[in-house]
Amino acid sequence: MRKVAEGVYRVPARSANAYLVEAPRGLVLVDSGLPGSEKGILKAIAKLGKKPSDLKLVLLTHRHLDHIGSAGVLKKRTGAKLASHPFEKPYAAGTLVIQAPSAWSLYGKMVRKLTTLEYWTLKLFRIIKFQTAHVDLAADEESVLEEVGLDGSVVWTPGHTKGSVTLFLNQSSVAIVGDLLRSRRGRLTEPLLMESIPQTEASIKRVVDLGPEIICPGHGKPLPASRIKVKTRAVKPVIIAKKKEEDIDLESLAKDLAS
């Protein structure tokens, strides 16, 4: 476990980072690693001098197994409430099955193939036991943070997945971004897998506009926001036209949510 900022800790969970945030009325965990990460996370809670029951909220940045993996077990063991964007809820519940988002580079395509293969191998040999869980709270409302008294906001930052969110902490000026950005060789770059490039770019801009000092990604080390290096590129119209059955019209949905 490493301290990122005052009251913010990085907990290396299985395959991805989890973050513990100290709030006035309990602890908040952001993401939960692959199934089996609960042991390490509970250890980290103990290291902070807290009890499992001090964990009050588990916020999932998005639906992928390396982020939601141990949320169900942790919810049972700690009594914490689970929060995610409504789009990601059915994946945590096991109603919808996770599909890897599109890859946009050769390296990304290789990673996509490998992670898909790894996922099915693990599943086939029952190495990972994913416990599904009901998500209690919709993380598109600021009220999820009110209960624990955390001074910050949950920002909808789609792109990597439709329901990706970022936790922004006002006091420490830390943004916990899930897989919106990945940290590699001292840089923060766009994710390898994206459901939508324009949405990812817009979401990164949204996060930058908040003026964070430190960015905490799902993979790799936390870095200063000045290390964001995202290439701008023209999006091929063909890719936009390729609509999948699962795709939901974000704009009309945003209107629905606003009304």
Determine the interface stretch with Zn ion among 58-66, 85-93, 106-114, 201-209 (rule: CB under 5 A). 58-66
* Cβ 35 to Zn ion shortest distance, Å: 15
**By CB under 5 A, residue 63 contacts Zn ion:** no
Confirm or reject binding of residue 64 to Zn ion (CB under 5 A): yes
How many residues in the chain?
259
CB of 68 to Zn ion, least distance (A): 10
CB of 64 to Zn ion, least distance (A): 4
The number of C-alpha atoms within 13 Å of 247 and in the hemisphere containing its C-beta is 14
For Zn ion, give the closer residue by CB, 38 or 179.
Answer: 179
Nearer Cβ to Zn ion (5/122): 122
Total binding residues for Zn ion by CB under 5 A? Answer: 2
Closer CB to Zn ion, 23 or 68, in the complex? 68
DSSP secondary structure letters along the chain? -EEEETTEEEEE-SSSEEEEEEETTEEEEE---STTTHHHHHHHHHHTT--GGGEEEEE-SSS-HHHHTTHHHHHHHH-PEEEE-GGGHHHHTTSS---PPPB-SHHHHHHHHHHHHHHHHHHHTT---PPP----EETTSTHHHHTTT--EEEEE--SSSTT-EEEEETTTTEEEEETSSEEETTEEE--SB-S-HHHHHHHHHHHHHT--SEEEESSS--EEGGGB-----PPPHHHHH---TT---HHHHHHHHH-
89 binds Zn ion (CB under 5 A): no
**Whose Cβ is closer to Zn ion: residue 64's or residue 89's?**
64
Nearer to Zn ion, 10 or 64 (CB): 64
Find the binding residues for Zn ion in span 153-182 (CB under 5 A).
179
| CA–CA distance, 199 with 204 (Å, rounded to integer) | 9
Stretch that binds Zn ion, among 56-64, 111-119, 149-157, 194-202 (CB under 5 A): 56-64
Nearer of residues 64 and 75 to Zn ion, judged by Cβ: 64
Q: Output 111 or 253, the one with its CB closest to Zn ion.
A: 111
Give, in order, the Cα–Cα distances in Å from 200 to each of 115, 148, 193, 203, 220. Answer: 21, 29, 10, 5, 18
Minimum CB separation from Zn ion for residue 17, in Å? Answer: 12
Q: In whole angstroms, how close is the CB of 193 to Zn ion at the nearest point?
A: 7
State in angstroms the smallest separation of the CB of 177 from Zn ion.
Answer: 11
Residue 111 burial (CB count, 10 A): 15
Report the nearest approach of Zn ion to the CB of residue 175 (Å).
16
Return the residues of window 211-250 that contact Zn ion according to CB under 5 A: none
Which residues contact Zn ion by CB under 5 A?
A: 64, 179
